[in-house]
């Protein structure tokens, strides 16, 4: 389970936790609070390519559908079906059990363009 | 709660299948001499009966009549819904549409047998041309969004015909209805959004930058969705035309234009109208509508087929001609709706059409000035047929537009359009239409002012409204997370 | 004249607004555009209008209907119009304020459920414009789900549905359509085999098809699914009173023209697009959907749900641009199904089968006439006439009969073919008259 302090964050409130060349991604606790009750998460499929900064998933609430922008580029190797079966998991545990999918990174250097935990916390004040 | 009140509460929300009694019959037919299995092979036949309710006719009538009584409707309540033009639906038009001579006609009857219906289509087209200044109309589209898509296909065909492959973008306003960009995307175009100025009108400088050789179409709603006329509309159409693009008018707000000005005169090349808005055809709980699309002379050939043509007093269905984009639906049109729109138009001339626009503008401004001290105008100037007011939660002890809307229901008014357009925070868009009397407007104004007073004295009451309706606020999150959309639950 | 204001009221209101004339309110309109000349006919009073419409109506001929081809003359129970014309249903708006729209919402829920029951599908929406555009939406959804772009269309699909697909999908240039040829009026299974590939998004199958013939839907379904393609079936809702359902043969999407369910012929509209799908495709279903939920007091209630997919929220990223549906037509349909019930629908469908087969046999026994195809059909069949079908149609107009649909209008090789339909409404006497009139052409 990724710890928030060990993650990197995008300005658009996605987090990435890297282990070797694999990044686990999701939305921050701040983001889930902003979106409020999540009713559905539309994830990419295993095998899809994602590009940093491009929309690759959708987070639906009753009144809105928010885009999820890939924090890093690469290939989707695993998706978390738990958030599809039970979207409220993302509201309860956005940083941990509510992870979205895992990417085999094609450009790990993109991580350095993201904010670390402290910087992100500052940015959302 | 006594057993009787329990029963009452439950009975009122029973779904038809829950009232079903095995073996009960309403409509019966004479029995066929032989069963279907005598004529058809076994594997073609249904194995299990459908899970449909078995009710008596009386039971069906009572069930649906009681359902209807749970609705607010235009016939029973004032509906100040901005951009929807909820005006009186004349009853005589219903009688006309129900005449067997019109309702009973098969779409593939030969032209000679349906001259009345064809003449009606032809004359309707001519009337719409006269009031818009455009050269031709198609009556095919079944709704406004359908019309928008049709208009976009026409624009695409126009550029293709000129071998211009660069036109990949459609320019829309940030205040546009969601169907504008959605239709553009469906048509294969990417969407460029132009922001509005502080005064609610489209930003001309941004428009000049956004409209390029890549622009196929510029789409604007006139008046716009904050109820203001784009005073520089001729400049916008000039920008579009100079860049080689076409200019599309979303006619959803035509109620303020009808009788005042002709869209062709301000450079509109393509537009759609909503017969279920300015032309009084009933909303029916969400449809059916009709969305005729009009075009200038240079785009006539691209209209969808079929159309009705006239020669020597005889009307013909023209099915094919060079340049048409093809058909956008099966059969000719939503003829039963076009008929009501036609009947409505025949009740008017230039003078009375002008009165529609003028009185709708009068009504909207009347409501605006009498409420703006409590619910500030998004744009403090004279509006056209609709005005946009706002809730300022800080002034209302945290009460928001949603809460005001729900509390209005308790007062016996349908709520205005809320949270649209997106460019206004806590928006309430109010369109009374010209068919509402001053007395009704005064009652509405009084209700809004009373709700304001409640926000000062008892904000919590407003925040949890409504109280007087068949149901109170709903669990929409639960409905979306675990959808129950059929009694045949899986 | 529907505007109630008196001149005095207008003046008083202008004063309260703080302007001296209406011109001040229209000052924002470029003045040179204001008040152009309108050359319109004189405004009619209500009685003048009804006289005018009666005159137009007299130019339409009432004919005994033996035509089908996607629009059917079924009996419409009287109770339907009395309920649907109630102002509370007729003049209600789209049910966005759910608390004030429980009547409309519950009716939509019952409509969705009735479609699911009749079609044996998991989910249905609140309706679409009509059958052809409902099919376009299903094709769109299939392409998004499979991420493939080849669509195989039965050659026996309604020609106007094929044309609509072409109009919808040509501009974007992504979909590639191929036709599966027919043999003896139904899909050629060998041709389907050779056309199916790893890039096939969906197979579109109509049964009954445009010629009225029944297809081997299970076989087509199996073939499509073996290649991971989806099956989109186009059906006739009344026929499902007796015919095997799309759910039973594994259709991923089942669409239909819902007009036969309690809606008049109306020269082609307003009609009713029915759209249904399997559970796993629910979030790709366009249009409005009503769900059952509860309110804060725990009371049962209905609300529009899954709206985040729709145009007013997703804008250019929406799956579809659709806004209105055909709510009143759907209301008429759900009342029709409630009045008929499972047994009434079976009775009506069985009568359709019987009358059509009796008629077909009688026509086939006329000299010079024969049935084009010899497979199973529901209530429509193709007749080869000894003369051009148009000639037969025009001649029978004099007998007050609409003899069917001339297929030459759709296919130049079928100029002598008439598509003939019989519903439960056709009496034995009408059938006799029809056959007798056709007999005049017998050699």
ipTM value greater than 0.90: yes
**Which member of C158, C240, C329 has the closest CB to residue B288?**
C329
Half-sphere exposure of A13 (CA within 13 A, CB side): 16
pLDDT at C320: 75
Residues 313-372 of C with CB under 8 A from A: 313-314, 317
* Residue-wise DSSP of B361-390: HHHHHHHHHHHTTTS-BSS-S--SS-EEEE
C317 vs A42: CB contact, 8 Å cut-off?
no
Q: Is the pLDDT of residue C308 over 90?
A: no
Q: Which residues 314-373 of C are in CB contact (within 8 Å) with B?
A: 314-318, 320-329, 331, 335, 337-351, 353-354, 357
With CA atoms as reference, the chain A residue closest to B476 would be A62
Distance of residue A61 Cα from the nearest chain B Cα, in angstroms:
8
pTM equals 0.95
* pLDDT above 70: residue C312: no
Find which of B181, B182, B420, B480 to mutate to test the A interface (most A CBs within 10 Å of its CB): B480
Q: How close is the nearest chain B Cα to the Cα of A40, in Å?
A: 7
Contact call for B480 and A62, based on CB within 8 A: yes
Chains A and B form CB pairs within 8 A to the count of: 14
Q: Tokens 């009954």 belong to which residue?
A: C208
Inter-chain CB proximity B362 and C22 less than 8 Å: yes
Q: Could you give the domains of chain B? A: 3-35+49-68 (no CATH), 93-346 (3.40.640.10), 358-474 (3.90.1150.10)
Q: Any CB–CB contact under 8 A between C437 and chain B? A: no
Across the interface, whether the CB atoms of A63 and C313 are under 8 A apart is answered yes
Is the pLDDT score of C399 beyond 70?
Answer: yes
| Neighbouring-strand partners of residue A76 | A103
Q: Provide the pLDDT for residue B3.
A: 42
Which residues in chain A have their CB less than 8 angstroms from residue C283's CB? 40, 42
Which chains, if any, share at least 3 CB pairs under 8 A with chain A?
A: B, C
When pLDDT is averaged across residues C179-206 and rounded to a whole number, the result is: 97
- Contact list in A for residue C317 (CB cut-off 8 A) is 65, 67
* Omega before residue B306 within 30° of 0, cis: yes
pLDDT at residue B2 in the model: 39
Residue of A41, A55, A60, A69 for testing the chain C interface, max C β-carbons within 10 Å: A60
Q: What is the pLDDT of residue C1?
A: 77
Is B379 in contact with B423 (CB distance < 8 Å)? no
Q: What local confidence, expressed as pLDDT, does residue B5 receive?
A: 42
- Report whether CATH 3.40.640.10 matches the domain C79-337: yes
The band of C323, judged by pLDDT with boundaries at 50, 70 and 90, is low
pLDDT of the residue at B7: 46
Q: What is the pLDDT of residue B381?
A: 93
Neighbours of C28 (CB within 10 A): 17
Whether residue B477 and residue A40 make contact (CB cut-off 8 A), yes or no, is no
- Per-residue model confidence as pLDDT tens digits over C256-289: 999 999 999 999 999 999 999 999 999 889 888 9
Q: Which CATH architecture best describes the domain C64-73+342-441? A: Alpha-Beta Complex (3.90)
Is A6 a residue whose pLDDT tops 50? yes
- Alpha-carbon distance B132 to B128, whole Å? 6
Cβ atoms of B463 and B399 closer than 8 Å = yes
Q: What angle do CA A75, A81, A83 make, to 5 degrees?
A: 105
Query: For the purposes of burial, counting CB atoms within 10 Å of the CB of B447, is it exposed (0-12), middle (13-18) or buried (19 or more)?
Result: middle
The C-alpha atoms of residue B444 and residue B411 are separated, in whole angstroms, by: 9
d(CA B457, CA B464): 14
pLDDT reported for residue A2: 65
- Distance in Å, alpha carbon of A66 to nearest chain C alpha carbon: 9
SS3 B91: helix
**What strands, in cross-sheet order, belong to the sheet with C370-371?**
C370-371, C380-384, C417-421, C405-406
B484 touching C (Cβ < 8 Å): yes
Give the pLDDT score at A62. 84
With contacts defined as CB-CB under 8 Å, which chain C residues touch B50?
117-118, 120, 240, 245, 342, 345
Interval A87-113 mean pLDDT: 94
Q: Give the residue on C whose Cα is nearest the Cα of A44.
A: C145
pLDDT at C316: 66
Q: Give the residue extent of every domain in chain C.
A: 64-73+342-441, 79-337
pLDDT, residue B4, reads 41
Q: Fold identical between C64-73+342-441 and C79-337?
A: no
Q: What is the pLDDT along chain B (490 residues), one digit of tens a residue?
A: 334 444 445 667 899 999 999 999 999 999 999 999 999 999 999 999 999 999 999 999 999 999 999 999 999 999 999 999 999 999 999 999 999 999 999 999 999 999 999 999 999 999 999 999 999 999 999 999 999 999 999 999 999 999 999 999 999 998 888 788 888 888 889 999 999 998 889 999 999 999 999 999 999 999 998 999 999 999 999 999 999 999 999 999 999 999 999 999 999 999 999 999 999 999 999 999 999 999 999 999 999 999 999 999 999 999 999 999 999 999 999 999 999 999 999 999 999 999 999 999 999 999 999 999 999 999 989 999 999 999 999 999 999 999 999 999 999 999 999 998 888 999 999 999 999 999 999 999 999 999 999 999 999 999 999 999 999 999 999 999 888 999 997 5
Tokens 């309690």 map to which residue? C262
Preceding omega of C270 cis (within 30 degrees of 0):
yes
DSSP assignment of C307-365 equals GGGSHHHHGGGSS-------HHHHHHHHHHHHHHHHHHHHHHHHHHHHHHHHHHHHHHT
| pLDDT digit string, tens, across residues C122-165 | 999 999 999 999 999 999 999 999 999 999 999 999 999 999 99
Contact B458, C27 (CB under 8 A): no
Chain B residues whose CB is inside 8 A of the C63 CB are: 106, 109, 113
């Amino acid at each position: 389970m990724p710890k928030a302090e060990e993650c990197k964050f995008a300005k658009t409130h996605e987090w990435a936790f890297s282990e070797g060349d694999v990044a686990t991604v999701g939305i921050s606790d701040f983001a889930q609070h902003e979106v409020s009750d999540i009713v559905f998460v539309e994830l990419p499929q295993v095998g899809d390519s994602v590009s940093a900064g491009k929309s690759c998933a959708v987070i639906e609430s009753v009144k809105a559908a928010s885009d999820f922008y890939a924090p890093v580029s690469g290939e989707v190797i695993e998706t978390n079906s738990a958030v599809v079966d039970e979207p409220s998991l993302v509201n309860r545990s956005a940083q941990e059990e509510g992870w979205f999918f895992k990417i085999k990174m094609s450009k790990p250097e993109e991580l350095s363009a993201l904010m670390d935990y402290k910087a992100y916390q500052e940015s959302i004040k | 709660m006594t057993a009787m009140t329990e029963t009452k509460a439950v009975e009122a929300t029973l779904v038809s299948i829950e009232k079903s009694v095995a073996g009960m019959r309403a409509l019966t037919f004479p029995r066929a001499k032989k069963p279907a299995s005598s004529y058809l092979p076994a594997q073609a036949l249904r194995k299990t009966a459908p899970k449909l309710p078995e009710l008596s006719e009386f039971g069906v009538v009572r069930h649906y009549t009681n359902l209807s009584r749970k609705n607010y409707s235009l016939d029973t309540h004032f509906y100040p819904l901005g951009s929807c033009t909820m005006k009186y639906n004349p009853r005589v038009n219903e009688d006309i549409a129900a005449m067997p001579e019109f309702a009973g006609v098969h779409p593939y009857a030969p032209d000679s047998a349906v001259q009345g219906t064809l003449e009606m289509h032809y004359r309707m087209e001519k009337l719409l041309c006269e009031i818009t200044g455009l050269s031709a109309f198609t009556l095919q589209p079944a709704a406004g969004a359908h019309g928008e898509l049709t208009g976009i296909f026409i624009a695409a065909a126009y550029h293709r015909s000129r071998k211009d492959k660069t036109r990949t973008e459609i320019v829309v306003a940030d205040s546009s209805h969601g169907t504008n960009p959605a239709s553009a995307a469906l048509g294969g175009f990417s969407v460029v959004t132009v922001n509005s100025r502080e005064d609610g009108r489209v930003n001309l400088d941004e428009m000049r930058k956004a409209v390029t050789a890549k622009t196929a179409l510029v789409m604007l709603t006139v008046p716009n969705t904050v109820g203001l006329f784009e005073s520089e509309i001729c400049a916008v159409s000039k920008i579009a035309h100079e860049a080689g693009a076409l200019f599309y008018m979303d006619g959803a707000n035509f109620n303020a234009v009808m009788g005042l000005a002709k869209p062709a005169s301000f450079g509109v090349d393509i537009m759609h109208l909503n017969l279920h808005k300015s032309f009084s055809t009933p909303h029916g709980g969400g449809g059916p509508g009709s969305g005729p699309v009009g075009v200038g002379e240079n785009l006539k050939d691209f209209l969808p087929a079929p159309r009705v043509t006239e020669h020597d007093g005889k009307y013909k269905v023209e099915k094919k001609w060079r340049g048409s984009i093809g058909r956008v639906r099966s059969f000719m049109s939503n003829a039963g709706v076009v008929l009501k729109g036609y009947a409505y138009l025949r009740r008017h001339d230039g003078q009375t059409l002008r009165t529609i626009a003028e009185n709708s503008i009068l009504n909207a401004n009347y409501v605006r000035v009498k409420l703006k001290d409590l619910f500030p105008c998004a744009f403090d100037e004279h509006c056209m047929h609709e005005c946009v007011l706002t809730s300022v939660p800080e002034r209302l002890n945290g009460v928001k537009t949603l809460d005001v809307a729900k509390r209005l229901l308790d007062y016996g008014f349908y709520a205005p359009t809320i949270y649209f357009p997106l460019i206004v925070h806590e928006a309430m868009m109010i369109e009374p239409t010209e068919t509402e009397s001053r007395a009704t407007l005064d009652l509405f104004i009084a209700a809004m002012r009373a709700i304001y007073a409640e926000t000062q004295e008892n904000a919590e009451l407003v925040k949890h409204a409504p109280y007087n309706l068949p149901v109170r606020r709903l669990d929409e999150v639960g409905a979306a997370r675990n959808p129950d959309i059929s009694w045949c639950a899986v | 004249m529907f505007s109630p204001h008196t001149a005095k009221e207008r003046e008083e209101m202008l004063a309260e607004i703080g302007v001296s004339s209406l011109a001040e309110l229209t000052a924002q309109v470029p003045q040179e555009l204001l008040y152009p000349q309108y050359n319109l006919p004189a405004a009619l009073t209500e009685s003048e209008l009804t006289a005018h419409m009666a005159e137009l109506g007299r130019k339409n001929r009432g004919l005994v209907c033996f035509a089908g081809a996607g629009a059917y003359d079924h009996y419409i129970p009287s109770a339907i119009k009395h309920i649907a014309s109630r102002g509370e249903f007729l003049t209600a708006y789209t049910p966005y304020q759910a608390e004030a729209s429980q009547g409309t919402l519950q009716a939509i829920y019952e409509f969705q459920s009735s479609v699911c029951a009749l079609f044996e599908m998991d989910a249905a929406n609140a309706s679409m414009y009509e059958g052809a555009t409902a099919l376009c939406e299903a094709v769109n959804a299939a392409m998004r789900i499979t991420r493939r772009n080849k669509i195989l269309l039965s050659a026996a699909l309604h020609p106007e549905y094929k044309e609509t697909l072409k109009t919808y999908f040509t501009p974007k240039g992504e979909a590639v359509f191929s036709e599966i040829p027919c043999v003896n009026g139904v899909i050629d299974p060998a041709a389907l085999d050779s056309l199916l590939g790893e890039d096939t998004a969906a197979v579109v199958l109509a049964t009954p098809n445009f010629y009225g013939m029944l297809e081997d839907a299970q076989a087509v379904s199996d073939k499509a699914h073996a290649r991971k393609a989806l099956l989109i079936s186009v059906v006739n809702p009344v026929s499902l009173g007796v015919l095997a359902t799309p759910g039973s043969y594994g259709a991923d999407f089942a669409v239909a023209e819902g007009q036969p369910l309690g809606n008049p012929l109306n020269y082609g509209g307003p009609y009713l697009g029915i759209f249904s799908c399997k559970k796993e495709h629910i979030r790709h279903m366009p249009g409005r959907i009503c769900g059952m939920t509860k309110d804060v007091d725990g009371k049962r209630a209905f609300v529009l749900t899954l709206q985040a997919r729709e145009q007013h929220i997703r804008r250019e990223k929406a799956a579809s641009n659709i806004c209105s549906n055909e709510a009143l037509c759907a209301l008429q349909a759900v009342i029709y199904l409630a009045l008929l019930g499972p047994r009434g629908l079976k009775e009506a469908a069985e009568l359709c089968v019987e009358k059509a087969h009796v008629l077909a046999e009688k026509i086939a026994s006329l000299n010079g006439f024969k049935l084009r195809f010899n497979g199973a059909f529901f209530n429509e069949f193709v007749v080869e006439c000894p003369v051009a079908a148009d000639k037969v149609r025009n001649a029978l107009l004099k007998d007050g009969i609409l003899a069917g649909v001339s297929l030459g209008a759709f296919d130049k090789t079928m100029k002598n073919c008439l598509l003939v339909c019989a519903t439960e409404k056709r009496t034995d006497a009408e059938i006799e008259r029809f056959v007798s009139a056709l007999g005049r052409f017998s050699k």
